[in-house]
Amino acid sequence: MAEPVLRVRLHKRYPNLLFWLSFLVLNVLLFLPMAMVSEENALAPPALPVEGGWQSALGHLLIWRESLDPWRISVELTAMTALWVWLGKWRRKWLGALFGLIYMLMLTYSLYEAIVTGIYLLEPSFYSQFFLARDGLPFLAERVNAGRGLYVGALLVSIAGCAVVLGLWRVLLMSGASPGLSRSSRLILAGIAPLTLLASVLYQQYTARPQMVVSSFGYKLQRNFEVSLEIYRDVKGFDDNLVRHVYDYSSHRLAQKPDIYIIFVESYGSVLYKRPHFTPAYRALLSELIEMFKIEGWHVTTALSEAPTWGGGSWLSYTTTLFGMRIDNHPQYLDLRNKYQVERYPSLGATLHDQGYHYVWLSALDENISEAGWSKYRRMLAVDELIRFKDMGYVGPRYGWGPAPPDQWVLHWAYEHLKSKTDKPLMFFTITQNSHYPWAPHPTLAEDWRTLNQLGPEPEPVDPETIGLDAMRANYLNAIDYQLRMLTQWILDVGDENSIFVLIGDHQPPAVSRRADGWATPVHIISKDAAFIEAFAEYGFIPGLEVNELEPTLRHEGFYSMFMRALLGRYGVSRIAQPAYLPEGVMHEAVETANY
């Protein structure tokens, strides 16, 4: 009995203090998740701008701030609180419970919004992120090697957090209903609530943006539903007649058929050019590697390309590249996978297969996917040969994400396996694994790649939450150093005058890059044929492994048409009329409306 009596006494004695303190904390909590994941970690109110006069300062203070600090105001929380305070004798417990439920939904949405917007730079869409969570979370849980203790701890923290929030809500309701709440507090609240409602009427969907000072949960939901409906219609309305027309290369034939190796480099992003803790070491590495290529007679050209995804979603990035169409959400990817089980999409690999190539796809992860699931992937990709982890006979230690074998071993093994198996020209695709977040534990380069496939203890998995930012950055740089040195040596070991190598980053690395770093990733094209390499100059490529301009000159969806145009222009039977270059690929929305 002592605790409730004490609580009642506190509410009677300090109703105004408890009311405004609980209101302030509950309001800030709605914006804290976004502030914590933003690049600035802007927990304090930003300084007012010097330029622009008082109008600019007022707008910065009350309307719009790029800095995602938590010092904003919720329309719905303010309105519910004002209604509760002014209802007087018409207050009901069920109404307080309903308002509390609405607040918990708002807080949950703010956490969700912070994850998809603040971390992955995606626009919130229930439709898109439902499928992403459904397919991705079980795989993620399996791969992070988290023990039961972590899940129990997360559950306990969640329960404790909910208890604190509900306690604050109870304090707000009790103090708001207290007869001791001053008239000035009631009038202040009565003035703030209409102003926030007026702002939501004036600015409407702008109040769904995290930069708005006055924020509306209702407009956030409306925008989410609109985006979800737009994606749904886009996915369901897809018609591939235009795709088949544009990517029909059947009238163009290759007189020469060099082997083509397309290697996506996990988490290889342009952040390496933009952050001082990466750039000097990265540029020094590129300078060292380009000299190795030059000595052996290789020509290299490089550009930056805008990826369709940021911080994750590698499958969206490489499917976009191979399909020549921007695929930036999981439902769209699933729809394409389901559609092309009997029919065949005219992808880059399928086109080269029609030119006489042996199209090979390699996945080094020991993925827990059923045989039926693998069959769906194989039919979608239209590959001649799918090499999985279980096919490679690897028994040595595995590292990092997955975990996975050392990429050095995988690539050398794949080359020997394929060259002993087929006399056809190769179209080979894979994505490296050892540069995947969290970049530890990590293999080291071996003098003889064969020595890596020996029984030995598995390295201890790491918990990314225990790694500081400086260590995380060092691990990332180490992983990229490994990848580029390994890939360079592999190319020098296996490549010849009849080889073309394409190295592409899939997306920016999570945790060590931010939205200001953009969506661009490096693309390197490597061959001993100088004329073929020079053909890419018209698309913004420059000689060497480095770029000077940090704005992307192409997009991943434009790679397919660009590469086929260059390939046919150099090695085609007829080099006079070449297929068109589509810098933005075939637009999915344009495909939908092409038949109307």
pLDDT bucket at 3, cuts 50 / 70 / 90? very low
Instruction: Please report the pLDDT score of residue 150 as a whole number.
Output: 62
Q: Give pLDDT, residue 371.
A: 83
Please state the φ and ψ torsions of residue 438, each to the nearest 5 degrees: -95, 20
Which of 125-139, 279-293, 454-468 is predicted most confidently? 279-293
Distance of CA 285 to the CA centre of its chain: 26
d(CA 22, CA 5): 19
CB-based burial label for 303 (10 Å; 0-12, 13-18, 19+)? buried
Question: What's the number of CA atoms in the CB half-sphere (13 Å) around residue 535?
Answer: 20
pTM of the model: 0.85
Strands 520-527 and 499-505: antiparallel
What's 68's DSSP letter? -
CATH number of 254-590: 3.40.720.10
Residue indicated by tokens 């995290």: 210
**Mean pLDDT calculated for residue range 368-387:** 88
Under the banding of pLDDT at 50, 70 and 90, the label for residue 195 is very high
Q: Is the pLDDT of residue 590 over 50?
A: no
Rounded distance between C-alpha atoms, residue 517 and residue 540, angstroms? 20
Residues pairing with 499 in the sheet:
259
What was the pLDDT predicted at 493?
97
Q: Where are the domains of the chain?
A: 2-233, 254-590
- Find where tokens 């637009």 sit: 587
What would the pLDDT profile of 394-438 be if each residue is shown by its tens digit? 999 999 888 899 999 999 999 999 998 888 999 999 999 999 999
Q: Is the pLDDT of residue 343 over 50?
A: yes
Residues 265 and 504 sit within 8 Å (Cβ to Cβ): yes
User: In this model, does residue 149 exceed pLDDT 90?
Assistant: no
323 touches 347 (CB < 8 A): yes
Beta strand 520-527 with 299-306: parallel, antiparallel or unpaired?
Answer: antiparallel
Is pLDDT at 591 greater than 50 in this prediction?
no
Cβ-proximal residues to 542 (8 Å cutoff; 6+ apart), any chain: 301, 302, 303, 548
Say which residue the tokens 């970049």 belong to.
439
What is the C-alpha to C-alpha distance for residues 18 and 16, in angstroms, rounded to an integer?
Answer: 6
DSSP-assigned states of every residue in 189-224 = HHHHHHHHHHHHHHHGGGGGSTTBSEE-HHHHHHHH
Please state the length of the chain. 596
Angle between helices 15-37 and 75-87 in degrees, nearest 10 = 170
Tokens of 15: 């109703």
Q: Whose structure tokens read 């003035």?
A: 191
SS3 31: helix
Output 88 or 255, whichever has higher pLDDT.
255
Amino acid at position 178, single letter:
S
* pLDDT tens-place string over residues 28-58: 999 999 988 876 656 777 677 767 676 777 7
Render pLDDT for 347-374 as a digit per residue (tens, 0 to 9).
999 999 999 999 999 999 877 677 888 8
- Classify 521 as helix, strand or coil: strand
Q: Cα–chain-centroid distance for residue 471? A: 22
Residue 65's pLDDT band (boundaries 50, 70, 90)? confident
Q: Which of 560, 451, 440 is nearest to 504 (CA)?
A: 560
Residue with the bigger pLDDT between 152 and 82: it is 82
* Predicted pLDDT of residue 6: 45
pLDDT the model gives residue 236: 86
User: Tokens standing for 35?
Assistant: 């502030």
| CA pair distance 448, 409, nearest whole angstrom | 9
- Average pLDDT over the chain reads 89
SS3 at position 256: coil
Confidence of residue 10 (pLDDT cuts 50, 70, 90): low
Q: Tokens standing for 468?
A: 């500081």
Q: What is the three-class DSSP state of 543?
A: strand
Query: What is the structure's pLDDT at 38?
Result: 74
Q: Which of 307, 318, 299, 301 is nearest to 270 (CA)?
A: 307
What tokens does 426 get? Answer: 């190769």
Query: What are the residues whose beta carbons fall under 8 Å from the beta carbon of 114, sequence distance 6 or more?
Result: 33, 34, 36, 37
User: Which pLDDT value is given to residue 183?
Assistant: 92
Instruction: Give the integer Cα–Cα distance in Å for 183 and 16.
Output: 10
Each residue of 468-499: pLDDT tens digit? 989 999 999 999 999 999 999 999 999 999 99
The helix (run of H) or strand (run of E) holding residue 370 is: none
Asked if 305 and 557 touch (Cβ cutoff 8 Å), the reply is no
Average pLDDT over residues 501-519: 93
User: Does 334 have pLDDT greater than 80?
Assistant: yes
Residue 274 and residue 170: Cα distance in Å, rounded?
Answer: 48
How many other β-carbons are positioned within 10 Å of the β-carbon of residue 135? 14
**Cα-based distances in Å from 104 to 36, 77, 111, 213, 248:** 19, 11, 11, 20, 53
Distance of CA 499 to CAs 161, 294, 298, 311, 355, Å? Answer: 58, 16, 10, 31, 16
Strand 299-306, strand 542-543: pairing = antiparallel
Comparing C-alpha atoms, which of 520, 524, 506 is closest to residue 554?
520
pLDDT at 4 over 60: no
Task: State pLDDT tens for residues 197-245.
Answer: 999 999 999 999 999 999 999 999 999 999 999 989 988 888 889 899 9
Residue 283, sorted as left (phi over 0), alpha (psi -120 to 50) or beta, turns out to be alpha
